[in-house]
Amino acid sequence: MELIFKASLVVAIFVVTLLVALYSTFAERKISAVLQDRIGPNRAGPFGLLQPLADGVKMFMKEEIIPTTSSKWLFIFAPCLAMLTAGMSSAVMPWGGNLIIDGETYSLQVADINIGILYILGITSVGIYGIMIGGWASDNKYSLLGAIRASSQMISYELAMGLSVIAVVMMTGDLSINEIVKGQPGAHWNVFYQPLGFIIFLICAFAETNRAPFDLPECETELIGGYHTEYSSMKLGFFLFAEYINMFVSCALIAAVYFGGYNMPFINDFGWSPNTVTIVGTACFFLKIAFGIFFFMWVRWTLPRFRYDQLMRLGWQILIPLSIINVILTGLGIIVFK
């Protein structure tokens, strides 16, 4: 029974992740349109809701081109790796509390490993390899430049990201994401205790997912497509799709670490049964994620891209010192207040 539940949970989470990523592409187009006083896709199905399907079919029907000078296996391996790592990172996310079925308790988390945060940071750094290998295997200057930018950007922002998470870990005393979520019941969200850490984490999340204003690896105006210049058909689709999954996971991580995950203020005051509380909590979590995704897109269609030297300066000279100061301040705070 336990096994069946876990297996179905894995499948459900995988499907939900893919669906969210699928409709993120749609949402991106819609939101960008609306922010620019346009309407956006509205032809495929009601309100254009079948547009992701049409996009997918288009991607599959495109001609598959592998450059003759490329390293063929690496060229194929790169998008697979990008997709794989993107899909793996949602495994440790606590999607909700506990469900009680027939007197048995089931956790809405696939794997409650006690180093959840480390796991996610590790997986995202493996994700860089997808981009790096893809850009290098293409044997194209633009791809290579894009890959170099991507890897250097991700490595430099990972430091600040990890340091800002350390402040949260210091407060919770645990690396497990579930424990971090449990440590912020009601409205005691970490964002109110760690505003500086949150801002640093948010900026780094933008950089980690290669999204504007840090979309240097694929900036169309300078590098054509960046690391995926030479890619076509569904391999390109995988890269783009992996980016949206990464965005979803980042938003989930932000929601879990800084916005209380499945916690909702006053949720225990309604006298609901534990199962209802869990389901409402999960819905609440997804609401937070949805707002996060909207925020990501909102930022993308507002801010212009950073220049490469500005990006590096921001990462090394501003964010890392700030996050170290944040860690020190958190340490002082813990000594003073506890």
Partner 1 sequence: MKALTNRSKVAVNKELSFMERLYFPAIIKGMAITLSHLFKKKATLKYPEVQKEFAPVYRGKHVLKRDEKGAENCTACGLCAVACPAEAITMTAAERKKGEEGKYREEKYAAVYEINMLRCIFCGLCEEACPKEAIFLTDEIVKTSYDRQDFVYGKDKLVEDMNNRIDITKRQKKY
8 Å CB contact between 234 and 243:
no
Closest CA to 189 of 176, 207, 171: 171
Binding residue (CB under 8 A) for partner 1 from 303, 325, 328, 332: 303
Nearest distance from C-beta of residue 35 to partner 1, angstroms: 5
Nearest distance from C-beta of residue 196 to partner 1, angstroms: 12
Number of amino acids touching partner 1 (CB under 8 A) = 12
Nearest distance from C-beta of residue 37 to partner 1, angstroms: 5
| 37 counts as binding partner 1 under rule CB under 8 A | yes
Tokens 């958190």, residue located: 330
| 302 counts as binding partner 1 under rule CB under 8 A | yes
| 2 counts as binding partner 1 under rule CB under 8 A | no
| 34 counts as binding partner 1 under rule CB under 8 A | yes
Binding residue (CB under 8 A) for partner 1 from 170, 191, 224, 299: 299
Cβ within 8 Å of residue 216, ≥6 positions away:
146, 149, 150, 153, 210, 226, 305, 306, 308, 311
Which structure tokens are listed for 194?
């760690």
Binding residue (CB under 8 A) for partner 1 from 12, 19, 39, 65: 39
| 102 counts as binding partner 1 under rule CB under 8 A | no
Helix locations, 36-176, DSSP H: 51-61, 72-88, 116-137, 141-172
| 301 counts as binding partner 1 under rule CB under 8 A | yes
| 290 counts as binding partner 1 under rule CB under 8 A | no
Return the range that interacts with partner 1 (CB under 8 A); candidates 70-78, 140-148, 272-280, 295-303: 295-303
Q: Which amino acid is at 252?
A: A
| 38 counts as binding partner 1 under rule CB under 8 A | yes
Binding residue (CB under 8 A) for partner 1 from 291, 298, 308, 316: 298
Nearest distance from C-beta of residue 289 to partner 1, angstroms: 19
How many residues does this entry show for the chain?
338
* Cα dist from 33 to 24, 86, 88, 293, whole Å: 14, 27, 31, 16
Cβ within 8 Å of residue 75, ≥6 positions away:
66, 67, 134, 137, 138, 230
| 46 counts as binding partner 1 under rule CB under 8 A | no
| 42 counts as binding partner 1 under rule CB under 8 A | yes
Distance CA 268, CA 144 (A): 53
* DSSP SS3 for 54: helix
Nearest distance from C-beta of residue 236 to partner 1, angstroms: 28
Nearest distance from C-beta of residue 294 to partner 1, angstroms: 10
Nearest distance from C-beta of residue 303 to partner 1, angstroms: 7
Return the range that interacts with partner 1 (CB under 8 A); candidates 12-20, 31-39, 92-100, 178-186: 31-39
For partner 1, the closer CB: 245 or 254? 254
| 191 counts as binding partner 1 under rule CB under 8 A | no
Q: Give kind and range of the element (H or E) at residue 105.
A: strand 104-107
Burial 13-30 (b: 16+ CB within 10 A, else e): beeebeebbbbbbbbbbb
Nearest distance from C-beta of residue 77 to partner 1, angstroms: 38
| 325 counts as binding partner 1 under rule CB under 8 A | no
Nearest distance from C-beta of residue 126 to partner 1, angstroms: 31
| 309 counts as binding partner 1 under rule CB under 8 A | no
* DSSP SS3 for 14: helix
How many CB atoms lie under 10 A from the CB of residue 48?
Answer: 18
Cβ within 8 Å of residue 182, ≥6 positions away:
none
For partner 1, the closer CB: 39 or 65? 39
Positions touching partner 1 (CB under 8 A) are 34-39, 42, 298-299, 301-303
